[in-house]
């Protein structure tokens, strides 16, 4: 593992994320930067856009992979926002231009597919 953020390669990519609203709750997943001890942040389900995918398709795929929530890409609302963000990971720095969509669902218990323990999704009350 590189000793610092300066030693890690940088990669740029496009990403798609979903703000999931279930009543007065929003679905978030926890993560951390391995180079900042005790760090913790929350984010919406999402990730990179694969070759040949639209932003909507990627958003729906990532939502299913990370939470078990399956939605039709055409039913996602938006895009509702965009941003460029820098993520620090153990092996690289990722600069990602993200497009956000909105999904309204019944309250669900997330059933993440291939996530690590630190990526497990949780419901967080918004109201």
Q: Which of 13, 38, 47, 34 lies closest to 121 in space, CA to CA?
A: 47
Domain count, the chain: 1
Indicate yes or no: pTM above 0.85: no
Buried b (16+ CB within 10 A) or exposed e, 59-69: bbbbbbbbbeb
Q: Could you list the residue range(s) of the whole structural domain that residue 22 is in?
A: 5-125
Instruction: Give the CATH number for residue 79.
Output: 3.90.79.10
Query: Cβ(117)–Cβ(25) under 8 Å?
Result: no
SS3 label, residue 96: strand
Q: Which of 12, 101, 8, 19 lies closest to 67 in space, CA to CA?
A: 19
pLDDT at 121: 47
Half-sphere exposure of residue 16, counting CA atoms within 13 Å on the CB side?
23
pLDDT at 112: 59
Q: Which residue has the higher pLDDT, 81 or 108?
A: 81
């Amino acid at each position: 593992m590189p000793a610092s953020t300066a030693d890690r390669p940088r990669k740029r990519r496009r990403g798609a994320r979903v703000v999931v609203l279930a009543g007065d709750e929003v679905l978030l997943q926890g993560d951390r930067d391995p180079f900042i001890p005790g760090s913790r942040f929350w984010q919406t389900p999402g990730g990179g856009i694969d070759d040949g995918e639209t932003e909507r398709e990627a958003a729906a795929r990532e939502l299913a992979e990370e939470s078990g929530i399956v939605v039709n890409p055409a039913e996602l609302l938006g895009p509702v926002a965009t941003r460029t963000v820098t993520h620090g990971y153990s092996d690289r720095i990722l600069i990602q231009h993200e497009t956000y969509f909105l999904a309204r669902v019944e309250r669900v218990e997330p059933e993440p597919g291939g996530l690590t323990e630190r990526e497990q999704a949780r419901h967080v009350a918004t109201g």
